[in-house]
Amino acid sequence: MQQNYEEPLFLISVVAKVLSIHPQTLRQYEKEGLIEPSRTDGKMRLYSQKDIDRIKLILRLTRDMGVNLAGVDVILKLKTQITEFECLVNELRLELDKRQGKSGKAVVKHKSSFDLIFYDDKKKL
């Protein structure tokens, strides 16, 4: 059985232990609006794998790159906006393909994607 990437499964204590951070750090990220975990009826936080991946990105930006939380917020918002624009461009390309397909004209294809790529300059011993 395959797990849904966005299904909330993990308690705050589990996420904190797996990522080697204090639960208060997760609460701070939530307070800053960087993450938005689901809540049980009893108000317990539940994190999905998607949430965990986002937290890993936040930790990478803050710990390894020295970005403050305000900067992380800007980066995450820009990344979301770029993804939305890429979806819109793809939709417009499909529509253009349909219209030009009827006329028999060729369409030039171009695809670009925005990813955050980190290089680790630290040598392993």
Choice between 1 and 45, residue whose per-residue pLDDT is larger:
45
Query: Does residue 80 sit within a domain?
Result: yes
User: How many angstroms separate the CA atoms of 73 and 65, rounded?
Assistant: 14
Is the model's pLDDT at 102 over the cut of 90? no
Is the model's pLDDT at 31 over the cut of 50? yes
User: Structurally, how many domains does the chain consist of?
Assistant: 1
Q: Mean pLDDT score of the chain, rounded to an integer?
A: 87
pLDDT band, very low/low/confident/very high, at 125 (cuts 50, 70, 90): very low
Q: What is the model's pLDDT at position 99?
A: 81
- For residue 98, the enclosing domain spans 10-103
Q: Strands (DSSP E) along 1-125, which ranges?
A: 10-11, 38-39, 45-47
CATH of the domain at 60: 1.10.1660.10
